[in-house]
Amino acid sequence: MGVVKKEKIYEGKAKILYATENPEYLIQYFKDDATAFDATKRGTIQGKGICNNRISAQLFQLLEEKGISTHFIKSLSEREMLVKKVEIIPVEVTIRNIVAGGMSKLLDLEEGIILDAPVLEYHYKNDKLHDPLVNEYHILALKIASLEELDAIKKISFMINQILKDFFAKKNLELVDFKLEFGRYKNKLVLADEISPDTCRLWDKETKQKLDKDRFRRDLGNVEAAYQEVLKRVLS
């Protein structure tokens, strides 16, 4: 039976959420819009929405097969997937395997240093505050998540890192770092949002060529081709 697309309930920088006839489900629509540096840089990446929808669907299915609960239900179209309607926990969880971007800046470390063990960071999702770096005590003090939830988030995030690192390695890609968002669905923690070159740094294993949103952030050119290449390898 087809899913009925109803009213728009939320529009973010890269995605739109629509209600469906089922109050427990939403349609997640992937746009070509791209922003960076707290939306001070804006642009369009042709076909990005299609790539990110398909890459995310593939990765959510992989994680589900490995026992990770996600909001993904099924793909609906080129740019749309059916997802569970979750209550998003306003924390971005970043896992880093190799120094880049924010960590390179924060600690004045050269990009490309391989970390002995993955580094986990939390950023409080708050536009007014520009998503500040926070620690577990801040999250507990602000009652953003419980200690039990944080323990589960950490455990699941490191499991996801291992699964994705192994998967991308087979595709000749290095998973440098990535960002996750979690939600609550029927009192259970589930992985939400997306996993795509917008939310991961991916470097070609041999050439170290960047195949992710850094091509847009840093004006490196061949942005569309990078997303297409990741899609091709993910589906290979």
Q: Does residue number 129 form part of the binding site for ligand ASP (CB under 6 A)?
A: no
* Burial (CB count <10 Å: 0-12, 13-18, 19+), residue 212: buried
Q: Of 159-218, which residues contact ligand ASP (CB under 6 A)?
A: 213, 217
Query: Contact 139/91 with Cβ under 8 angstroms?
Result: yes
Integer Cα distance of 119 and 94 in angstroms: 8
Integer Cα distance of 55 and 114 in angstroms: 25
Among 200, 211, 226, 230, binds ligand TMP (CB under 6 A): 200
From the list 29-37, 68-76, 86-94, 168-176, the region that binds ligand ASP by CB under 6 A is 29-37
Q: Of 46-65, which residues contact ligand ASP (CB under 6 A)?
A: none
Q: Does residue number 13 form part of the binding site for ligand ASP (CB under 6 A)?
A: yes
CB of 101 to ligand TMP, least distance (A): 2
Q: Does residue number 110 form part of the binding site for ligand ASP (CB under 6 A)?
A: no
Integer Cα distance of 16 and 26 in angstroms: 10
CB of 6 to ligand ASP, least distance (A): 27
Integer Cα distance of 57 and 74 in angstroms: 8
CB of 85 to ligand ASP, least distance (A): 23
Q: Which two tokens stand for residue 62?
A: 């992989």
Maximal C-alpha separation, the chain:
54
Q: Which residue is nearest to ligand ASP (CB)?
A: 35
Q: Does residue number 201 form part of the binding site for ligand TMP (CB under 6 A)?
A: yes
**DSSP string of 68-96, one letter each residue:** --BSEEEEEETTEEEEE--EE-SEEEEEE
Of residues 194, 180, 190, the one with CA closest to residue 227 = 194
Each residue 77-96 as x (binds ligand TMP by CB under 6 A) or -, in order, gives -----------------x--
Q: Which helix (H) or strand (E) element contains residue 217? A: helix 214-217
CB of 117 to ligand TMP, least distance (A): 17
Q: Does residue number 39 form part of the binding site for ligand ASP (CB under 6 A)?
A: yes
Amino acid letter, 171: K
Among 30, 178, 203, 227, binds ligand TMP (CB under 6 A): 178
Q: Does residue number 210 form part of the binding site for ligand TMP (CB under 6 A)?
A: no
Residue 179, binding choice from ligand ASP, ligand TMP, none, Cβ under 5 to 8 Å by partner class: ligand TMP
Residues that bind ligand TMP in the complex, under the rule CB under 6 A: 94, 100-103, 177-179, 199-201
